[in-house]
Structures are given as structure tokens and as C-alpha cells.
Amino acid sequence: MMGPSRGDDSKSENSDKTHADQSVTRFKVETITLQITAHKLNGKNYLQWSQSIKIVICGRRKFEYITGEAKALAPTDSTYKKVVGIYVLEAPVLHPMSEGLFNFVIGWTFMFAPLLFTDRRRDRYKGSLDVLWGLQMFLTNTFLIPYMAIRLNKTDSNYTQRKRSQLESVMTKGASVVGLSGGVVCLISVLWALFGRMDGNFGGIVERFEVLISYLGSERLAYAFIWDIGFYIVFQPWLIGDNLQNVEQRKVGMVKFLGFFPVVGLIAYLVCLTHDEL
């Protein structure tokens, strides 16, 4: 009778060690069983790791997709992104009054470029008119205050007319287009403020004016818009009146009269510029 050999003992020990080095976790959902086998590594049991994975999966409500109880969504499905955890931020809906006010000021500022670039006293300002208009366009027209003061200085005896920049040339040559485009933007902005998103529960004209008054009294951004509009109301007729010689002779009277009307006077000035000035 042959007893167990040394080789058999070695195989038995290896088999026991193999089973001891494995931790088997079974998750049974009705008739479907999910088995995760975690091997030991350096004598440590990773059963806790596999349980943590299950907790995370169940917590995100994705366990049904693993067991087959839920059908996987196609990438084109509207709820696919929500299921996989992708969320798209929606743009906030602003009140039409605030949008209209902002775009109205932008359109007016856009038209101010040719007015600055055709100013007869612009060379008394030693800085860049391109930068000045850029600051006016993207920040505030408060930067016009020092310009309006500097242009009142006496002409330097060594005065030489500087060459126009590329932006100045484009804006002055296309002054009529700039005037009409800016006028359209201002008109659309006013109409949008009064009638935009009528189906969005923003109220009628009366309610919108009430919102405008409240907006002007509570928002710092609104203060800046009113500040810009106030300066434009003062600076527009001032600059137009000092540069009537740039306007076609037979239209000087009309431009001088319309110059006191916000936006309208500036459009008239830009459309009626002489070809010599352009």
C-alpha cells in the first residue's frame, strides 16, 4: 500500500493556498448572480474593495445595467447624458429690458468711432484714438472726458497732421454703413426691450418699464449704462456742432438740428459726411 508521497503533499498545500488566497463575493439579484473574485495580495484581503465597488455602482443606480435588468440607452437618447453623469449648463434667460439696454449702448458706441476719427481737433490728442475708442467700446465712455478737454487746447506751432490708422480709414470710409448698421442695432434693441419674449411671462410695456426702473435702481451695471447714455447725450451734439464743415453743405442745417437728438443726429452726421472727409 502506497502512502501519500511528498509530491502529493506539495500539491495539496498549493491547492489550499490558492483557495485561501481568493475571496469570492456573490451578489444575487433574483435569478442573476454577479460574482466578483478578489485575490489576496501580500496577505491582504480585498473583499472590502469589491464591496465598495458595489456600493458605488448601486449608489449611482447603475447596478441594473450590469445585471441586465435595465436596457442600455443609446448615445442618441435624450436621457443618455444624464444617465452617464454628463450635464450641460443652460444659458440663463435675461430680462429683455436689460438685454435691450446693453445692446442699445453698444450700437451707439459703435457709431461714435467715425465721429471721433473725423473730429477736426483730434490731432491735439497725442494718444491713440484706436485705443481710446476701444476703451470706450469695451469699458466705459468716461475715457472721453479727458479727450474732450484736451481737444480744446490751442494748436501746437509744430503741428503736423498724423496719418490715419487702418481702423480709422475703414471706419471713416464706411461711415454711412457704420451709421446705418448702428442705427438698426439701436432700433432693434428698443423693440426687443419692449416686445421681446412676449411668451416668457415678462409682462407688457408697463411692467417692463417698472422692471427697468427697478433695474436702474439696484444694479451697478445699469448705473454704467445710464452713465454712458448721459455722456453721449452731451458729447454727441458738441462734437457734431464742432465738425459741421465735414457735412455736405446743403445738409448742414438738417444735421445741426438733428444733432441734439440721441442716436438720430449721429446717424444723420455719418450718412451726410462729404467725400473729401472720407
Q: Is residue 11 part of a domain?
A: no
Q: Is residue 25 part of a domain?
A: no
Domains identified in the chain, total number? 2
Domain co-membership, 222 together with 105: yes
Domain co-membership, 125 together with 248: yes
User: Considering 60, 84, 108, which residue would you say is the last residue of a domain?
Assistant: 84
Q: Is residue 26 part of a domain?
A: no
User: Considering 31, 60, 84, which residue would you say is the last residue of a domain?
Assistant: 84
Supply the pLDDT for residue 20.
Answer: 46
Domain co-membership, 62 together with 127: no
Domain that holds residue 204: 96-148+166-272
Q: Is residue 37 part of a domain?
A: no
Domain co-membership, 52 together with 176: no
Q: Is residue 24 part of a domain?
A: no
Domain co-membership, 253 together with 183: yes
Could you read off the pLDDT tens digit of each residue along the chain, which spans 278 residues? Answer: 444 444 444 444 444 444 444 445 555 545 555 555 555 555 555 555 565 566 555 555 555 655 556 565 565 555 555 555 555 666 667 788 888 989 999 999 999 999 999 998 888 888 889 999 999 988 888 899 999 999 988 876 666 667 888 898 899 999 999 999 999 999 999 999 999 888 878 888 888 888 888 887 777 777 888 889 999 999 999 999 999 999 999 999 999 999 999 999 999 999 999 876 55
Domain co-membership, 172 together with 78: no
Domain co-membership, 54 together with 178: no
Q: Residue 100: which residues within 8 A CB-CB, separation 6 or more?
A: 189, 190, 191, 192, 193, 194, 196
Domain co-membership, 137 together with 67: no
Domain co-membership, 58 together with 141: no
Domain co-membership, 76 together with 109: no
Q: Is residue 36 part of a domain?
A: no
Domain co-membership, 59 together with 118: no
Domain co-membership, 124 together with 234: yes
